[in-house]
Each structure stands twice: as C-alpha cells, then as structure tokens.
Amino acid sequence: MAAGADDPTTASLAAFAVVGSGGVGCVVAGILADRLGRTTVTIIAMAVSGSSAIVVGLLFGAAPILVLAVGVVWGVTVVADSAQFSTAVSELASPGTAGSALAIQAAVGFLLTGVTIFAVGLLGPGDANGWRIAFGLLALGPLAGIIAMSRLRRRPEAVRMASGHR
C-alpha cells in the first residue's frame, strides 16, 4: 500500500478536499453559466464529472495522490451542475410555479442521490471490480443529464436562461 494510504487522518483530509472542492465548482460554474450559457456549462461540467468518475474507477490501487487529483477534479465538477439545474427551473417555470418546481426538483435530486449512494454501497466496492463498477455506474447520471440539457438547449425557451445564453 502506498505511503499514507492507510492513515485515517490523510484519508479524512483527502475526502474533505474532494467534497469541499465542490463549492468552488458551484461558484465558478455559476459565473461561467451567466456568461457562456447555462446549458453549455452544465453539459461541460457533467462530461468532466462523468469522465472523472470513470477514471477514478480505473485508478483502483494507483498512487493515492493520483486518485486524489482526479477526485478533486470530480469534486469540482460533480455538483457544478446542480445549481444550474435549479437556476434553469427558476428561469423557465411559469409565473407562480417556481417554488413548487424547485421543491420537486430538489426532492427528486435528493432521492436519486440517496438511491445511488445506497446502490453503490450494495456493490461492495472493496475490491477492484466492485470499485470500477461502482464508479462506472456513477457516470450514468451525468450522461442522462447531458442528454436532458442538450434537448433543453434546442428548445426555443432556452433563450430565457442566462440572459439569452443557452
């Protein structure tokens, strides 16, 4: 095992770095989405997020610093799309329905997250195959999101988002 890989403090700090980097991704994605377009930034974030999940899955047993580096990229991008979906809902909802639409979106999002975490836990990613399968499956969510955002991007209503930037 690589030096430091079995140290709980190092592992905790690494996990914090991956999870905490998501805040940076949300802020940067929000700034870029207002300038470049909500669907554009969301599609890019989800493509990087899904790719990172696959790469992390393939890195089972690799040097911890390499896994951490890819994990931080994943952490930055994995939640960058969430605020964009919420903002798109608020920009596109019919007058008087934005609150209800956001509540439904948040509930569905939390439900999908909970189901995904539960399902990954059932896979028992303690060995290389379980690890690869679990992280490969995590790429399916971003793939579905890319398809959804691409379809939204083609709709005429998309010009109502981000000051006309799709």
Which domains are seen in the chain, by residue range? 8-164 (1.20.1250.20)
If one compares 2 and 146, the residue with the highest pLDDT of the two is 146
- Residues 62-115: pLDDT tens digits? 999 999 999 999 999 988 888 888 888 888 888 899 899 999 988 988 898 888
53-61 long-range contacts (CB < 8 A, ≥24 apart) are 53/78, 53/135, 53/136, 53/138, 53/139, 53/142, 54/135, 54/136, 54/139, 56/135, 57/131, 57/132, 57/133, 57/134, 57/135, 57/136, 57/138, 58/132, 60/128, 60/131, 60/132, 61/128
pLDDT at 52 over 70: yes
